[in-house]
Amino acid sequence: MLKIGVLISGGGTNLQALIDNTLNGKIDGGIELIISNKDSYGLKRGAKAGIKNIYIEAKDYTSEEQYNLRLMKEFKKSGVDLIVLAGYLKILSKDFINEFKDRIINIHPSLLPKFAGSGYYGKKVHKAALESGEKYTGATLHFVDEGVDTGPIILQKKVKVEDHDTVESLQKKVLKLEHEIIVEGVKLYSQGKVKIDGEKVSINRGKR
């Protein structure tokens, strides 16, 4: 049974997709701990599901490093095997990334490497996709490395950008894909089918 930790900052619809699909057994694992850097609605989703959830305010710490040390301590105490960034809007420290090397995944609302890096989050990503005239956009699930949105890609799903699309309609279409690939990716990981080899990820789609 995979022990999962989740970091959030906002409403937590990706977190909800993980909650639903661990409870229904699709993912061979359970969420041990949810941490948010904001007093967000996502924490309430955890509480409703009876999952340990903590609001840890970064301002209470003297540095980003100290803040990340607290996150590391909490996740290690919960014995998590995998950490999922589900709409987490802060950058992890090098210490954190090294502590959980190759065991941190992130969901991003574009087809990486497009529309990524600092400043590209939430609606800003969809606005950039619309303005670029791209015919497709989508969602990416990837391992987290020391860059921003740059780690090895696990899964991607794309959707057509229609002439009538707005930032809001695109965000809605992409969020649906995010929920699909975050669940599919964590399910495959829980089954030991996701192998990372340097910059490449291989997925064993065969039966168990």
Interface residues toward ligand GRF, by CB under 6 A: 10-15, 42, 86-87, 107-109, 121-122, 175, 178
- Closest approach, Cβ 39 to ligand GRF, in A, equals 14
Q: Is 105 helix (H, G, I), strand (E, B) or coil?
A: strand
Give whichever of 8 and 195 is closer to ligand GRF, judged by the CB atom. 8
Catalytic residue among 108, 126, 142, 179, which?
A: 108
Give whichever of 42 and 46 is closer to ligand GRF, judged by the CB atom. 42
Beta carbons of 104 and 112 less than 8 angstroms apart: no
Q: How far apart are CA 128 and CA 26, in angstroms?
A: 34
CB-based closest residue to ligand GRF = 87
- Closest approach, Cβ 172 to ligand GRF, in A, equals 10
Give whichever of 38 and 193 is closer to ligand GRF, judged by the CB atom. 38
Beta carbons of 36 and 6 less than 8 angstroms apart: no
Q: How far apart are CA 194 and CA 204, in angstroms?
A: 7
- Closest approach, Cβ 80 to ligand GRF, in A, equals 19
Q: Checking DSSP bridges between strand 104-108 and strand 153-160, what pairing results, if any?
A: unpaired
**Residue found by looking up tokens 């229609």 in the block:** 162
Give whichever of 103 and 108 is closer to ligand GRF, judged by the CB atom. 108
126 is a catalytic site residue? no
Beta carbons of 67 and 35 less than 8 angstroms apart: no
Catalytically annotated residues: 108
